[in-house]
């Protein structure tokens, strides 16, 4: 694989008790260096919207307003979006595979690149031998077999030689905090 072709997208759709909803997508190269960063202005639903959408408001804003609008304005084309919020796995798209990624305290697996199925659409992947494996949860409509699945796993393993795969999500959260607190 040509490392220069690996682009990983990291997406956040977050709520703040005072600032409403805000989201961002960071695209990195295989070393974790930023290639593109897009974010939304804070979205504060009106009382009427809160009443009309009820309990579905949060998912609507995260999926249909934030995630959809951010993916549409990216200038870099991506095929994988890594997220922490399980709600984002429900975003409907055929072009982008959405994966919830998280750290684990599971013991290291025998070798780098080892993949272990936890349950349907959920895996542990050993990126580097000295670290704990990461948990990958794929969107429910994604088939975790075949060339596309294998290509994603290979890209994550190869990028993992240079970077901590889930670390950029923390950078996106911290950047959104700066934006919300008007520190930029």
Residue spans per domain, the chain: 3-101+138-180
Task: Report residue 181's pLDDT band, with 50, 70 and 90 as the boundaries.
Answer: confident
pLDDT at 140: 84
pLDDT of residue 48: 95
pLDDT, tens digit, for every residue of 38-47?
999 889 999 9
Tokens of 179: 């934006």
Q: What is the pLDDT of residues 68-117, one digit of tens each?
A: 999 999 998 888 999 999 999 999 888 899 999 999 999 989 888 899 99
In tens, the pLDDT along 104-153 reads 999 989 888 899 999 989 999 999 766 899 999 999 889 999 999 999 99
């Amino acid at each position: 694989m040509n490392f220069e072709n690996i682009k990983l997208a990291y997406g956040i759709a977050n709520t703040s008790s005072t600032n409403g909803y805000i989201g961002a997508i960071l695209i990195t190269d295989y070393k974790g260096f930023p290639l593109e960063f897009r974010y939304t202005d804070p979205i504060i639903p009106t009382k009427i919207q809160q009443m009309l959408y009820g309990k579905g408001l949060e998912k609507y804003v995260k999926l249909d307003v934030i995630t959809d609008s951010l993916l549409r304005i990216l200038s870099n084309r991506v095929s994988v979006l890594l997220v922490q919020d399980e709600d984002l796995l429900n975003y409907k798209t055929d072009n982008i595979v959405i994966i919830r990624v998280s750290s684990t305290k599971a013991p290291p697996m025998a070798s780098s690149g080892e993949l272990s199925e936890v349950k349907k659409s959920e895996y542990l992947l050993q990126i580097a031998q000295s670290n704990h494996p990461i948990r990958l949860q794929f969107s429910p409509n994604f088939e975790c077999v075949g060339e596309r699945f294998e290509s994603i796993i290979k890209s994550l393993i190869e990028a993992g030689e240079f970077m901590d795969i889930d670390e950029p999500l923390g950078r996106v959260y911290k950047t959104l905090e700066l934006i919300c607190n008007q520190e930029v």
